[in-house]
Amino acid sequence: MAPGLRKFVLTVHLALSVGWIGAVVAYLVLGVTAATSTDAPTVRAAWIAMELTGWSAIVPLALASLLTGIVMSLGTPWGLFRHWWVLITLVLTAFATGVLLLHMPSVSAVANMAREADAAALSRLGGDLLHPGVGLVVLLLITTLNVYKPPGLTPYGWRKERQQRSG
Amino acid sequence: LAEPPGDYPGTPRWVKVLGAIVIVLVLAFVIAHLTGGGMRHH
């Protein structure tokens, strides 16, 4: 990948990834509000906003971040499977995106319940802390790996490096 | 260039530590999920 294009893709990837974290923080705030508020309209509004935030912000940002991350890896000498930090980042990002896609239909179901529920039913809805909480930890872990880039080649990366040196 | 001597030096320690932490986190997440620690209506 040409240096100019690489910087552009990196900029897009960073913006998408930071946006993903920010959207999860917003979702977490709504999840805490839904879990702790005793005001029925607030709980209803929180769940509807969680559904919107999830489908309209978190899911697109997660998919785009995963895609641009793969493009970045394949278009640079880092590769996708050569360095442990890249490989672990890929696995964690794919895992987080997979859990997100499996979880969002449940969020929609609860949001639909919240739209029609009375005050008593809304008080029993609760919030959603586990998924955004764990998701945020995983995203911060990925961010740390991407900033520090701890050294270490995978067995595949080691073989490729030997081939390149001997070739 | 000559081929570098030696075999694969092994998996770095930080990968093993991080792997253990991630496995514990995933197990805790799955257990919390299955025992209703997530959404009540999930």
Q: Does B8 touch chain A (CB under 8 A)?
A: yes
Which of the four pLDDT bands, split at 50, 70 and 90, describes residue A166? confident
Q: Flag if A162 and B4 touch (Cβ within 8 Å).
A: yes
Which of the four pLDDT bands, split at 50, 70 and 90, describes residue B6? confident
- Return the ∠ at Cα A132 (arms to A14 and B23), rounded to 5°: 90
Helix (H, G, I), strand (E, B) or coil at A153: strand
In this prediction, residue B34 carries a pLDDT of: 83
Helix segments in A54-154, DSSP class H: 59-74, 84-116, 119-123, 130-148
In this prediction, residue B38 carries a pLDDT of: 63
In this prediction, residue B2 carries a pLDDT of: 44
Q: Does B3 touch chain A (CB under 8 A)?
A: yes
Minimal C-alpha gap between B17 and chain A (Å): 12
pLDDT tens digits along A36-89: 999 999 999 999 999 999 999 999 999 999 999 999 999 998 999 999 999 999
Query: ipTM of this model?
Result: 0.78
DSSP state of B3: P
Q: How far apart are the first and last CA of chain B?
A: 59
Distance CA A66, CA A86 (A): 12
Distance CA A75, CA B31 (A): 39
pLDDT tens digits along A110-164: 999 999 999 999 988 889 999 999 999 999 999 999 999 999 999 999 999 888 8
Nearest to A21 by CA among A111, A147, A141, A104: A141
Average pLDDT rounded to a whole number, residues B1-20: 81
At A93, list the tokens: 């990002």
pTM equals 0.90
